[in-house]
Structure 1
Amino acid sequence: MRVPRMNALLRSAICVIALSAVAPSAMAHSRTSAANHTGIPVPEISHGEMAVMADYRDRIIALASTATDTDEPFRRVLNYAQIQYSYCFWGRMPGSVTDEESPFNECAHAYLAATKAVLMSLREMPREAEAASAIVSEADADMIRRGLSLITCRFSGEAFNTADIIRPRWSEIPLHTASMASLTGFFAVIFGVFLAGRRWLKVQSSE
């Protein structure tokens, strides 16, 4: 009964390793030279808004995932928000939202800007408007209480596009202590799980 669970762990490890394999091509990524504007525009989000929007992301995505009265632009922005979230290591990197020097800060701007755009669209949907408006009110109150509305950073005012995937700035990771330490520990755990899985499967096959 434990074999499927172990196989699932191995598949997850392989997926993460495969994601890291695209890092070299991402190092050359440049927003100013390679931006693609053929998709759906995603309005910018301020640094202050990000900190609050990150706290409400799960509620917003959960509400959006159950919405039925949707159109293609809404679904594409929602999909973009989820893709960007995975590229940004699911918001797990320390300082990705609050530290503008983090190699993951720009991609955090992207997924949170898309999340905000999804929330604004939900407010216009008959069935979701009430729940979305409640989130907006709570988020606004949080921003005022925490004094975040006027805080900006180098990526504030940067608009995005669903056709332009923003990847972490991999070349800057060795220079960012928190990111380097977190990734080193993360991949050490993944590698440990992979080795343990291989040993476990070898034992099972020999029985």
Structure 2
Amino acid sequence: MQAICFGLVLLLAGSALAHSRSGESSHAGLPVPEISHGEMAVISDYRSRIMDLASTAADTNEPFRRVLNYAEIQYSYCLWGRMPGSVTDEQSPFNECAHAYLAATKAVLLAMRDMPQEAMAAGEIASAVDVDMVRRGLSLVTCRFSGEGFNTADVVRPRWSEIPLHPASMASLTGFAAILAAGFFVLRRLLRIQSWE
């Protein structure tokens, strides 16, 4: 009986670890509220406008700058949003890290609505996001990461081990590797030709 109980405990612990966030660490940073799957699709369309406005914000404070920095760090960890399906496909190994950078981007936008000089521009972007959400019917679209909050002390990395199981990510990374290899081959050949001259 004890062996069965021990086995059940191990099974539950393994299940919990399998579903835990990649890169789970200290939560000493600032909380970043979750973002729904539907919001992600729209916020990603407005990301550059939000980040451009945030980069010129005059009346900032430390929490704002930390969340802004987190948004930028997460964006780079998520390969600058370039992986196919990272925002739209919840099976993508890059979907959770996309949730993180877009949740931070949304938090930055909402914070700017309370800043005297940025409030009007941020309000216009927020209104455009709201209209797009309704127009595209994305308000209630959720996924497995939709209820997940984030923290500026916790960098969310892509799930690298899942890339071979996700055809779009695998094809994209394979294509990138092929381009790098071809570039290296051409560069090496050019250097060899120059050394002969």
- Aligned equivalents of 1:127 and 1:95: distance in 2? 35
Q: 2:67 maps to what in 1?
A: 77
- Aligned equivalents of 1:33 and 1:75: distance in 2? 22
Q: 1:124 maps to what in 2?
A: 114
* 1:122-168 Cα distance to aligned partner (Å, 9 max, x none): 11111111110000000000000010000100001100001101011
8 Å Cα contact 2:38-2:133 kept in structure 1: yes
- Aligned equivalents of 2:22 and 2:170: distance in 1? 26
- How much does 1:186 deviate? 1.2
8 Å Cα contact 1:64-1:118 kept in structure 2: yes
Q: How does 1:24-35 map to 2 (within 5 A)?
A: 30-31=20-21, 34-35=24-25
1:61 and 2:51 aligned? yes
- Aligned equivalents of 1:55 and 1:196: distance in 2? 36
- How much does 1:90 deviate? 0.8
- How much does 1:34 deviate? 2.5
- Aligned equivalents of 1:168 and 1:36: distance in 2? 18
- How much does 1:205 deviate? 6.1
Q: 2:187 maps to what in 1?
A: 197
- Aligned equivalents of 1:191 and 1:74: distance in 2? 41
- Aligned equivalents of 1:56 and 1:47: distance in 2? 15
Q: What is the letter of the counterpart of residue 180 of structure 1?
A: M
Please give the root-mean-square deviation of Cα atoms over the aligned residues, in Å. 2.0
Pick aligned residue for 1:89 from 65, 69, 79: 79
- How much does 1:35 deviate? 3.7
Aligned length: 180
- How much does 1:68 deviate? 1.8
- Aligned equivalents of 1:91 and 1:174: distance in 2? 19
- How much does 1:36 deviate? 2.4
8 Å Cα contact 1:74-1:118 kept in structure 2: yes
Of all paired residues, the percent bearing the same amino acid is: 73
- Aligned equivalents of 2:162 and 2:155: distance in 1? 18
Q: 1:145 maps to what in 2?
A: 135
**TM-score of the superposition, structure 1-length normalised?**
0.81
Question: Which structure has the bigger radius of gyration?
Answer: 2
Q: How does 1:154-169 map to 2 (within 5 A)?
A: 154-169=144-159
- How much does 1:29 deviate? 10
Structure 1 unaligned spans of 5+ = 1-27
